[in-house]
Structure 1
Amino acid sequence: MKVNYKLYIFGLIFALGLTATVNYHKAPWRVGLPVEFAEKRVKEVVMDTSKTSRAKVHQTRILITTGETAVKIVEPILFEIYGKEQILSERPYGVHKIDDYWFISGSLPKRYDAGGGFEIIPDSRNAEVMSIVHYK
């Protein structure tokens, strides 16, 4: 009887590969970088005022190119401050690009006199919120 060694070798390689894959997924994952590194890096970036700073690279490039993206960025901020139900009740939003900034405001019914809507102005180059207001 002739033994098919190729089949045994294939089976052995398959079993080893399966074992390695299962153990790989059981390995603990390192989530992000350590807080000590994060603290050091934040201080470096904030203190670096040179024009060639890699941290400042996006100051001239537009990161938020569409109104849809701008809304996706500011909604969680607005929800956290004013409540999701309140902000969603002010849809549809007014969204305008003015120079390097987005002006996003809430809508209210025409005969609504019990308060005002929100207004938020994020920078399109870095998403920094320049102003956030909810009128009463």
Structure 2
Amino acid sequence: MSEPKRLTRRQLAVIEDLFAGEMTESEVLATYNVSAALYDRWLTDARFCECFERRVARAYREARLTLARHAPKAAKTLIDLTKCQKEETARRACLDIVAPPTTSDSPVRTPEQTEPDLAAELPPETATRLLAALAR
């Protein structure tokens, strides 16, 4: 049996440019002279779809990595905002700190993968301010 065909350079270029973020889907297709009918055929090709889905997964991984890289700074900023003179700002920062994450697309984690309880690491002074702001 023959080896499955690889994607063409044009197909690979279209996929990469779709994720470059500089052009819309129609602009990318026009750039590579890909008609809607041809693009629809590509979307029914398992190899094209697999490559496309891998690229989608990579984009999500990159986004999660960016968020993870900036999470410590965001956490520090929230903690600093709990000391804000504006009570509403301090209260909202407190709520953001203690609120559970709202992302529903995050994978389910086992207890071993669960991050340590950050509230347990809060200095007593900050914890007291958080509780006082929430009690208001």
The reply to whether TM is greater than 0.5 is: no
Q: TM-score with structure 2 length normalisation?
A: 0.25
Question: Hey, which of these two has a bigger chunk of helix by percent?
Answer: 2
Question: Hey, which of these two has a bigger chunk of strand by percent?
Answer: 1
Q: TM-score with structure 1 length normalisation?
A: 0.25
